[in-house]
């Protein structure tokens, strides 16, 4: 998962984090949130409706890139990474459903707690969240990602980081 994917989710996550830092959460944890009403899928759904959970694993991926690229680092301050890289190298706390407008479900996050006024958001990481080497993803890892990108990353990250109070 590359820069564009990370950026699209980072913005949402940081906004939700800003809400989290503003006031304490008072509602119940849920597996996803929707802008209007409740998410369509139940708490323990196995896969999104448009995904084949029994799809074969492995194989080869070939993809094209319009234009050119001069870096394989999607977080580079200068340069132009391939756009599709964002989908291949990282996962976010939440994932936007492709068939439910304005609905996100937990990916690395097992749940999110958001009060009715949406003034805060609190995430609970899945115990099964792992890096590619099998080591667990921790809260410290998530916060490190925000901080390092917000203080040393591209200006788009620094701009969002500057809005986080604490």
User: What CATH number has the domain bearing residue 32?
Assistant: 3.40.190.10
Classify residue 68: in a domain, yes or no: no
Helix pair 139-152, 3-22: axis angle to 10 deg: 110
- The pLDDT assigned to 25 comes to 41
Classify residue 147: in a domain, yes or no: yes
- The pLDDT assigned to 15 comes to 44
Give the distance between the most distant pair of CA atoms in the chain. Answer: 48
Cα–Cα distances in Å, from 38 out to 32, 66, 100, 102, 105?
Answer: 8, 38, 11, 11, 11
Q: Which domain holds residue 128?
A: 3-41+73-161
pLDDT digits (tens, 9 = 90+) for 41-54: 999 999 999 999 99
Classify residue 150: in a domain, yes or no: yes
What is the average pLDDT value for the chain, to the nearest integer? 81
What's this model's pTM, rounded to 2 decimal places? Answer: 0.71
pLDDT > 90: percent of the chain: 39
CA nearest to 30, candidates 122, 142, 131, 101? 122
The total number of structural domains in the chain stands at 1
């Amino acid at each position: 998962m590359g820069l564009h994917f990370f950026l699209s989710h980072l913005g949402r996550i940081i906004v939700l984090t800003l809400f989290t830092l503003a006031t304490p959460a008072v509602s119940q944890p849920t597996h996803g949130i929707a802008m209007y009403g409740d998410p369509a899928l139940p708490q323990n759904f196995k896969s999104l409706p448009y995904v084949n959970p029994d799809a074969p694993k492995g194989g080869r991926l070939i993809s094209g890139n319009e234009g050119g690229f001069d870096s394989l680092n999607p977080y580079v301050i200068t340069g132009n990474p391939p756009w599709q890289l964002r989908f291949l190298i990282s996962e976010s706390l939440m994932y936007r459903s492709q068939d439910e407008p304005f609905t996100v479900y937990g990916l690395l996050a097992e749940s999110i707690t958001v009060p009715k006024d949406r003034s805060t958001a609190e995430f609970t990481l899945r115990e099964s969240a792992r890096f590619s080497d099998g080591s667990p993803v921790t809260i410290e890892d998530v916060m490190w990602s925000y901080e390092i990108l917000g203080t040393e990353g591209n200006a788009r990250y620094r701009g969002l980081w500057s809005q986080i109070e604490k």
